[in-house]
Amino acid sequence: MTIDSAGAKILLVDDNPANIDILIELLEEYDVRAVLDGESALDTVQEEVPDLVLLDITMPGMDGFEVCRRLKDSSRTKEVPVIFLSASNDDASVLKGFEVGGVDYITKPYRAKEVLARVKTHIQLFIAMQQLEKIATTDELTGISNRRKFFMRSVKLIEQAKNKRIPLYLAVIDMDGFKPINDNYGHDIGDAAIKAVVDATKELMPPKICFARLGGDEFTLMLTGTEEKVLKQLDLLRKKVETMRIPGSGVHVSLSIGVTRLSEDTDTIHSLLKRADKALYHAKKAGGNKVAAHLKSS
């Protein structure tokens, strides 16, 4: 895996402008953003998550150790590597830096080659971990979330919906007659059909929706809104796919969709999937190319 770290985003936190100038000049191949205190650092990462934080320990107000603790307590920034900067290299400070979540410790005055080597190493490790995570949670054929990623996201969405009383719906989507497409036209056309359904779904559904391929020709997505709105969105998808022809073959595809609603505090992703699958069964039994709803918890 080749990793290009040039242009990576670094957040530099130091109350000494002279130190900031030195590091910005030294780290010219990176996109460095500098702030003078811990509070500003915590505000900045809410706007944009960096690939690395260079964090001075001794600052007025909130010190670097506390800033690091807060970064590690946030799901948004807990994986971002933090390198501490300090004029002191006593064992207690170095140990505390690692205890609060730092990955490295650079002492002042700065040695250019050491700074560059440490920064590059930790940025490349961070980028590599992100790439591996993407591979592990992305469906290779379509580029959308895979089954593993769906279960990770759905649990959080269900918890959020329960806490905030947000109407949440789960739909399971299945392509009608998919096996004969593979058998009669080959897997290349089958793959093209799957991609076409994914493209149609992404076009019609809200951006950043929880949309995943469960496996084969089965997909799932989670929607918020009124019952009328959700059912209308799903039926628009069904109608769009119904009119499509797969490029290179003229193959026609259609969808059966089963949908359910989060209705009980005891609902889990497994109970929702079970009800959505039951609704999907009824859509298939009725001849396919239909949206069927099972909106009660029983």
- pLDDT mean across residues, the chain: 93
Radius of gyration of the chain (CA): 25
- pLDDT recorded at residue 1: 55
Tell me whether residue 217 is one of the annotated catalytic residues: yes
User: By three-state DSSP, how is residue 167 classified?
Assistant: coil
pLDDT tens digit string along 185-241? 889 999 999 999 999 999 999 988 999 999 999 999 999 999 999 999 999 999 999
- pLDDT recorded at residue 126: 95
294: which 2 tokens?
């099972």
Classify the C-alpha dihedral 231-234-235-236 as positive or negative.
positive
User: By three-state DSSP, how is residue 135 classified?
Assistant: helix
* CA end-to-end distance (rounded Å), the chain: 49
Residue in 293, 184, 285 with CA at minimum distance from that of residue 229: 293
Query: 168 falls in which pLDDT band (50, 70, 90)?
Result: very high
Residue whose token pair is 């990576």: 8
- Could you write out the DSSP letters of every residue in 87-131? S---HHHHHHHHHTT-SEEEESSPPHHHHHHHHHHHHHHHHHHHH
Strands 255-261 and 168-175: antiparallel
> What CA dihedral angle connects 258, 259, 265 and 271, to 10 degrees?
10
Query: What are the structural domains, with CATH classification, of the chain?
Result: 9-135 (3.40.50.2300), 147-294 (3.30.70.270)
Average the pLDDT over 159-163 and give the result. 93
115: which 2 tokens?
């700074």
Query: 248 falls in which pLDDT band (50, 70, 90)?
Result: confident
pLDDT tens digit string along 252-296? 899 999 999 998 788 999 999 999 999 999 999 999 999 999 887
Q: What percent of the chain has pLDDT over 90?
A: 84
**From 14, 56, 174, 217, the catalytic residue:** 217
Q: Strand order of the sheet with strand 31-35?
A: 31-35, 9-13, 52-56, 82-86, 104-107
